[in-house]
A and B are shown apart, each in its own frame.
Chain A
């Protein structure tokens, strides 16, 4: 269940694509973490992910979780951004036959879900096709 604190804590990532770059080896983490899995360094500088990339894989999900059932079917994709970071995001404003592996996309700030009938409105990133 999404509570306000749980939602608010992730907003730098969901609203602004804030990531962490290891000051030693340069590896980028999204979301940020406390230790680099590559060189074990614990110091990072803030960086912002690029908002453009391409579809690595996608699926039109017909049976969604209950909090997405009003929007079913939804297109879900793994997007590889231009810096190589991969994220999971919905692909929106398109028809099923426009989806393909390798298609270029751009991330936009969108409403992602509503947590319950009187719950918080939840925002984040979705991908749209670059036409």
Chain B
């Protein structure tokens, strides 16, 4: 297996991009990544996208996007694992380069979510849950994560204040990110009095509806060296795991088994553990998710994620900064793009290019991307070679 480097990343300002189409935002990010990498051709491409069909009516987007990027007839594949689609694209590109099958692979993610109304978007996102045995009975995504939150509060004494502190921290970080959809701060009181969505989760506990794309260019470390890339950012570990997509089918609904398993695989591959990670980008689709993920990754003991957030351990400058980008909450969550945008932040930080939100001396970082209520999970570890 060859060692693989991330030689370029690209993104744009995320938000409600009425004037831009799915193909526009993807190509824009892909071109940014290629320019950053200094390459003008790619061997193949993986695109993570959850539901271009339900959000825009367009399927068959891999070939379409290869066309608009000017890369027909090279192969292009769309991959789907709900909100983990971007993470899957990254992993498939990594495998293709590591195996020696291709040298330069573009891995991207995209979601155009604002071409439909809120009800349709809720429906489209709901298809990541069990349609017949969860959604049929009235489940929504905020509702399912609310069930996790209530169970976590009941089992471990996690508080509403701790949930709010995750949001406050992510908006603090997001206010320093020029690409963020919501680049402003919020207070604990604002979070705790915002509109109720699914008790105990309020609107400021939930990530938004976002148009956006992100892309990264993967190549063998040897090629990165010959291109005089400095620093060389190496993919040290990659883990992927699955779990039941129906939340009720799990023994413990507060524990993200797939995330823990994906982390174990990525840590084993990289030969490191949670204590060796300088910062992490994780899947905070809801504030409770960040708490559960921080426990499943081994940063904190089970049940201690809320207390750690309240104590500031996950803030910039804390023990283990989580979501310096602002996370899904402040940066936005165009579902298929999120897994790649996390890699964008990892690379930006490891290059020491993150400006005011820079994690000091960051050398090794982790990204965690998941689908549904955790039925799919990807963990990647990147480090300065």
Quick check: A63 and B140 within 8 Å, CB to CB? yes
Chain A hits for B120, CB < 8 A: 66
Does B142 touch A at the CB level, under 8 Å? yes
Quick check: A66 and B122 within 8 Å, CB to CB? yes
Quick check: A87 and B138 within 8 Å, CB to CB? no
Binds A, one of B69-77, B148-156, B297-305: B148-156
CB distance from B203 to the nearest CB of A (A): 9
Q: Interface size bucket, A side?
A: 20 to 34
0/1 per residue, A106-127, Cβ < 8 Å to B? Answer: 0000001100000000101010
**If the complex has contacts A31-B133, A122-B136, are A61 and B246 also in contact, measured as CB distance less than 8 A?**
no
Query: Which residues of chain A in 20-68 are interfacial with respect to chain B, using CB atoms and an 8 Å cutoff?
Result: 31, 56-66, 68
Quick check: B198 and A65 within 8 Å, CB to CB? no
Quick check: A88 and B137 within 8 Å, CB to CB? yes
Quick check: A64 and B150 within 8 Å, CB to CB? no
Contact partner, A64, options B138, B195, B199, Cβ 8 Å:
B138
Chain B hits for A68, CB < 8 A: 138
Number of interface residues of B (CB under 8 A): 36
Q: List 16 A-B contacts (CB under 8 A).
A: A10-B132, A10-B136, A57-B151, A57-B154, A57-B253, A60-B198, A61-B197, A63-B122, A65-B122, A68-B138, A77-B147, A87-B248, A88-B248, A101-B154, A112-B137, A113-B138
Chain B hits for A88, CB < 8 A: 130, 133-134, 137, 139, 246-248
Does A89 touch B at the CB level, under 8 Å? yes
Chain A hits for B122, CB < 8 A: 63, 65-66
Chain A hits for B57, CB < 8 A: none
Residues of chain A at the chain B interface (Cβ within 8 Å) = 10, 13-14, 31, 56-66, 68-69, 74, 76-78, 86-90, 96, 101, 112-113, 122, 124, 126
Contact partner, B126, options A10, A65, A86, A87, Cβ 8 Å:
A65
